[in-house]
Structure 1
Amino acid sequence: MMRYLTFPASCCIALLWMSPVYGQDARRIHEQAIVVDSHNDVLYQSVMRGKDIGQRINSGHTDLPRIKAGGIDVQVFAVWCNEKYGKGTAFAHANKQIDGLMKVISRYPDDIMLATDAVSARQIAEQGKIAAIIGIEGGHMIEARIDYLDSLFKRGARYLTLTWNNSVEWATSATDETRKPNTLKHKGLTDFGRQVVRRMNELGMMIDLSHVGRQTFFDVMEITTKPVIVSHSNAYALMAHPRNLHDDQIKAVAKNGGVICLNFYSGFLDPMHYTKINRFYAKYVTANDSVKRSSDAKYDRLPAVAKEQLRPPLSLLLDHIDYMVKQAGIDHVGIGSDFDGINATPKGLDDCSDFPKITEGLLTRGYTEPQIRKILGENMLRVMAAQKN
């Protein structure tokens, strides 16, 4: 943050866990740093379901009080819909979610304001308010129309994730490139996809390469003139999931001047996550289920005690941060929680009020205060500012 925070007693719970050795320094660093979370799905999870996130709610990971308790200065609100929304529906749905965010901002002007660049984000944070940034998660929401891309940018969207898990007609996703390669008509960007990338560079809109396939990733790197972001992905070397980045991709982002923001999802952190789901499903539900269920469906059927046992230690997230720093350098790593878009998180990261735990974890691992500030937010804001150059 750009100021010292004064939390009400009810909001200080997230800070009480800190150890006597590092707690005081961690608290000071966290309060004085500007903290950016590059990806949160509360619009879909709560706002679109009629929940008032201006007040503390008893569900999900996010609301304005918990954002403030976690010391998050700049919150990217992801605009998301799945592949069931297509031409004629996806763009309209994106606008409905933006409308929902605007209503929150209108209702709570003392707590949150829309930011459209790095300068306004810092200025809003200095006022003690949450700087809200809009990110569009999924290229299908522009419905293969440049004018729709322009329209979303005018409404305040400052990044576009080129694909979600589903490919679009002009770019292929990591899921499809790795799991459904034989169904693809092409790999990577088409000519229209290159047009999208060039237009985003012209607009000053960040290109988000989370979710995209390797071919799409490197096609973008060949033509972009601006630093990219990877808003919520982790290291493939530590967890071999198609959504995570290989070493050559990590180094390519660093060479490009971009930033990779680490995701809190247990399934992207813990190499034993899916094995444990199957084990607990057999133990707590049934070993003789004849219905073929996805890992998420199995997870949803587990009792609370099993879900808690599934959670990996916070140290695994710190391991991924360490690995990214080693591969890319300290200037190219950030935080993208994916809160309210994930169903399993490391122990201790129950919701966005727990962000200070990351700061203490980094401090205990020997990161300096300037390095921690970069990871917490400065790197992300640098890339955002670079879009205007």
Structure 2
Amino acid sequence: MRGMKRSVLAIALGMSLTAHAWAAGKEVTPAKVRQAHDSALVLDTHLDTPANFSRPGWSIRDRHDHDGDQSQVDLPRMKEGGLDGGFWVIYTEQGSRDEAGNRAARDHGLTRLVEIREMIAANAADFELVSTAADAERIAATGKRVSFISMENASPLASDPSLLELYHKLGLRMLGITHVKNNDFGDSSTDAAGPQWNGLSPKGKALVVEANRLGLILDASHASDQVFDQLLELSKAPIVLSHTSADAMFDHPRNIDDARIRKLAAKGGVIHVNAYGGYLISIPKHPQREAALEALSQKYGEESGRDEAKVQAYLKERAEIDQRFPVPQATFEDYMRHLLHILKVAGPQHVGIGADWDGGGGVAGMEDVAALPKITERLLKEGYSEADIHAIWGGNLLRVLRAVEAVAEPMRR
């Protein structure tokens, strides 16, 4: 399907791998991992990297470092880690829901959409916008990075839900209903005020119909259990969780229980497993640390507005806070506990990867996308076949997209 990836992948794997038995006693060698990983269409469903696109001096073409400048995804590391692409996220923080707040959300969403499209256009030799599942396979075959667009939090549509059609025409292919607070379309899983709508609002239910008509994948990550249940019931196409982990491994409102995972799978959906540490393990609340981090964020402003000097100053002060107020850090093994559990519950045909890169994701031992082959390595050691790995990395997602496209086609006539 694709050209061979950088030899650095083989070097990194050769340094870290030891011989293990898998399946019927077969050895997991660096060559076996490289073959399985390179032959898969490796997609991640939640890349918050567009927050970096407008950073002064930051370029997707340069190799960055998470500890050095707070970024986890760029073209060199995508190549090193074999990441063929995924969903660039239009994320909008939930602000006030009055007229002024809704206008601000509208403007922010459209600005971020333009920034994503501009990045793709400016790097057309390496990235291409995806409209269909067939597009994704065609683009990957050329060696370019497969570029989907998604929306996390539908608040940019609150002032005018009809904007969804414009977003679709400009490349949007996945729609997440909420973020950490309730909005005009539905309840969040983490709003301290509790549910407002007991699931989807009337506007939210209408949004589901329109998403089905246009051919948008519906994403229930961050939404309440009631929203998940109603999306599963109302949508004529399968839905996804773009970046969610397992309640059974760590009971957190942002995670999902096994019964719902099974219902998602039964309706053809896919859960993409999150690597956000606070959803993988228990990290005790530390009021002094949280106050210090909040003050730090206020001091330096949004990440997208920080130049290199501000980034370095921020990182220095952040390291001092970490030293004064240490908290547990999730590890690669914590991530794999969630992934392997979900695979057992849903089956490999209903699981994918959505690690929340550049949005808080990443764990000790898997700090950026260059480390993605470690997942393939571990899955092989656990006895999953190459066909399973192909499904998990991208095949399941494209199956859902094809189903969404099939539902939309007669509805749009």
Same fold, TM-score > 0.5, yes or no: yes
- Tell me if 1:249 matches 2:260: yes
The correspondence for 1:63, drawn from 54, 65, 74, is: 74
- Tell me if 1:102 matches 2:117: yes
Whole-Å Cα distance in 1 between the matches of residues 62 and 196 of structure 2?
Answer: 47
Whole-Å Cα distance in 2 between the matches of residues 167 and 385 of structure 1?
Answer: 30
Output the amino acid matched with 1:67: M
Whole-Å Cα distance in 2 between the matches of residues 313 and 105 of structure 1?
Answer: 32
CA displacement 1:196-248 (0-9 Å, x = unmatched): 00110111100000000011111112211100010000001111111100122
Output the amino acid matched with 1:112: F
Match for residue 387 of structure 2?
A: 370
Output the amino acid matched with 2:46: H
Output the amino acid matched with 1:353: A
Contact 2:239 2:264 in 1 (8 A): yes
Residue 363 to residue 304, structure 1, CA distance change in 2 (3 Å): farther
Residue 306 to residue 333, structure 1, CA distance change in 2 (3 Å): farther
Whole-Å Cα distance in 2 between the matches of residues 133 and 307 of structure 1?
Answer: 38
Match for residue 313 of structure 1?
A: 331
Residue 104 to residue 87, structure 1, CA distance change in 2 (3 Å): same
The correspondence for 2:218, drawn from 207, 212, 215, is: 207
Whole-Å Cα distance in 2 between the matches of residues 312 and 319 of structure 1?
Answer: 11
Cα RMSD (Å): 2.5
Match for residue 7 of structure 1?
A: 6
Whole-Å Cα distance in 2 between the matches of residues 24 and 296 of structure 1?
Answer: 46
Match for residue 155 of structure 1?
A: 170
The correspondence for 1:124, drawn from 139, 143, 164, is: 139
Whole-Å Cα distance in 2 between the matches of residues 42 and 307 of structure 1?
Answer: 28
Match for residue 195 of structure 1?
A: 206
More divergent stretch after superposition (121-130 vs 21-30)? 21-30
Whole-Å Cα distance in 2 between the matches of residues 17 and 246 of structure 1?
Answer: 37
Whole-Å Cα distance in 1 between the matches of residues 372 and 204 of structure 2?
Answer: 36
The correspondence for 2:193, drawn from 156, 180, 187, is: 180
Whole-Å Cα distance in 2 between the matches of residues 296 and 362 of structure 1?
Answer: 38
Residue 24 to residue 388, structure 1, CA distance change in 2 (3 Å): same
CA displacement 1:122-166 (0-9 Å, x = unmatched): 111000010100000001111253311111111101011000112
Match for residue 55 of structure 2?
A: 49
Output the amino acid matched with 1:351: D
Contact 2:5 2:82 in 1 (8 A): no
Contact 2:77 2:370 in 1 (8 A): yes
Q: 2:204 aligns to what SS in structure 1?
A: helix
Contact 1:14 1:356 in 2 (8 A): no
Whole-Å Cα distance in 2 between the matches of residues 75 and 41 of structure 1?
Answer: 11
Gaps in structure 1 of 5+ consecutive residues: 282-288
Match for residue 39 of structure 2?
A: 32
The correspondence for 1:381, drawn from 398, 406, 410, is: 398
For residues 267-286 of structure 1, the aligned pairs below 5 Å read 267-271=278-282, 274-275=283-284, 278=286
The correspondence for 1:339, drawn from 357, 380, 391, is: 357
CA-CA distance at 1:113 after TM superposition: 0.6
Contact 1:134 1:156 in 2 (8 A): yes
CA displacement 1:27-84 (0-9 Å, x = unmatched): 110011111100010101x113232112223421011111121111122101112012
Output the amino acid matched with 2:106: F
For residues 215-254 of structure 1, the aligned pairs below 5 Å read 215-254=226-265
Residue 192 to residue 236, structure 1, CA distance change in 2 (3 Å): same
Match for residue 285 of structure 1?
A: none
The correspondence for 1:351, drawn from 341, 364, 368, is: 368
CA-CA distance at 1:355 after TM superposition: 0.7
Residue 292 to residue 160, structure 1, CA distance change in 2 (3 Å): closer
Whole-Å Cα distance in 2 between the matches of residues 307 and 130 of structure 1?
Answer: 39
Q: 1:65 aligns to what SS in structure 2?
A: helix
Contact 2:5 2:80 in 1 (8 A): no
Q: 2:162 aligns to what SS in structure 1?
A: helix
- Tell me if 1:87 matches 2:102: yes
Contact 1:137 1:163 in 2 (8 A): yes
TM-score normalised to structure 1 length: 0.88
Q: 1:134 aligns to what SS in structure 2?
A: strand
Q: 1:349 aligns to what SS in structure 2?
A: coil
Output the amino acid matched with 1:388: E
CA-CA distance at 1:98 after TM superposition: 1.8
The correspondence for 2:149, drawn from 122, 126, 134, is: 134
Residue 292 to residue 94, structure 1, CA distance change in 2 (3 Å): closer
Contact 1:48 1:97 in 2 (8 A): no
CA-CA distance at 1:109 after TM superposition: 1.3
Match for residue 343 of structure 2?
A: 325
Residue 116 to residue 292, structure 1, CA distance change in 2 (3 Å): closer
Q: How many residues align?
A: 368
CA-CA distance at 1:328 after TM superposition: 1.3
The correspondence for 1:145, drawn from 135, 160, 163, is: 160
Gaps in structure 2 of 5+ consecutive residues: 20-27, 297-316, 407-413
CA-CA distance at 1:17 after TM superposition: 3.8
CA-CA distance at 1:311 after TM superposition: 3.0
CA-CA distance at 1:16 after TM superposition: 4.3
More divergent stretch after superposition (164-173 vs 224-233)? 164-173
CA displacement 1:282-301 (0-9 Å, x = unmatched): xxxxxxx5x97398889956
Contact 2:187 2:196 in 1 (8 A): no
Residue 141 to residue 3, structure 1, CA distance change in 2 (3 Å): same
Whole-Å Cα distance in 1 between the matches of residues 205 and 81 of structure 2?
Answer: 38
CA-CA distance at 1:326 after TM superposition: 1.7
